[in-house]
Amino acid sequence: MKTLKIIISTLVLSILLAGCAGVEKETVTVGSKDFTEQYILGNILVLLIENNTNLDVVFKENMASHVIFSASETGAIDIHVDYTGTIYGYYLNHSETRTAEEVHEIAARELLSLHNLRVLGKLGFNNTFCLAVRRDTAEQYNLRTFSDLAEVSANFAFGGSAEIISRNDGLPNLKRLYNMTFREEKVMHDVERYQAVTNDEIQVAEVFSTDALILEYDLVVLEDDLHFFPPYHGVIVIRNEVAEKHPELLEIFGMLEGLLPDEVMRSLNYRVDVLGEAPRNVAESFLRDKGLIR
């Protein structure tokens, strides 16, 4: 009799486990672009979802802007962090100068109507494109603005990402506006650019306003005096289909609005780029400090 009970219990347990195995958890895919800030932000999204929902998360990293945008349209990516200026100027091909609020409003309205992608509220930081030079270069040539740089730019080599060198909201139209030209334009990754400008391999580097390495390498960021670059406020972009199916995600992501001003984002980048911490660890400690995960 005891043996029979054990057999029956085993069969019942097997049936229950088989039933559970047949119920698959839903999966959402988070994407990130190919630089430090994006790795941190992508991990922040992943951790928020993992700790506050029953959804499984796939994390896909190292995508260029045009790749992540295309992947979002096709459904290969469900959620990512992007920038209002990139949406406005690159994805939507606008070029008129607008205020930060106008850029955000147009980006949100048109990305939804044209691409069925929802733009959420601003995270707090404005990671706009900048041009930077060594401090001794700025002093030697009396450089304070992009217009100052244009006067001597033909003597200089420029180092930047493939995106800024080719995008319509990047170097091509910037050079037209400022009547600027460079002796050479080199494609370089972010940390590589800082090292190259410090070693005088290039004289002008593309940087971002939230880069911690600006301080680490003591670079002078020049003023965009003709206001070419639009605001690049960080925002979460989610496929509208996913937002409607999982409205809890909108509530969860809403907790991040305004929590990442420039100085906070810069400090998180510093921990990865300078102190060598892993992006996921930095993201986790930030969320714990803010009480968003346990």
User: 42 lies in which domain range?
Assistant: 27-127+231-289
Same domain, 51 and 135: no
pLDDT in tens, 49-103: 999 999 999 999 999 999 999 999 999 999 999 999 999 999 999 988 889 999 9
Same domain, 155 and 66: no
Same domain, 37 and 119: yes
Domain end: 221, 248, 263, which one?
221
pTM for this structure?
Answer: 0.81
pLDDT in tens, 140-158: 999 999 999 999 999 999 9
Domain end: 221, 245, 275, which one?
221
Contact in structure between 93 and 69 (CB atoms under 8 Å)? no
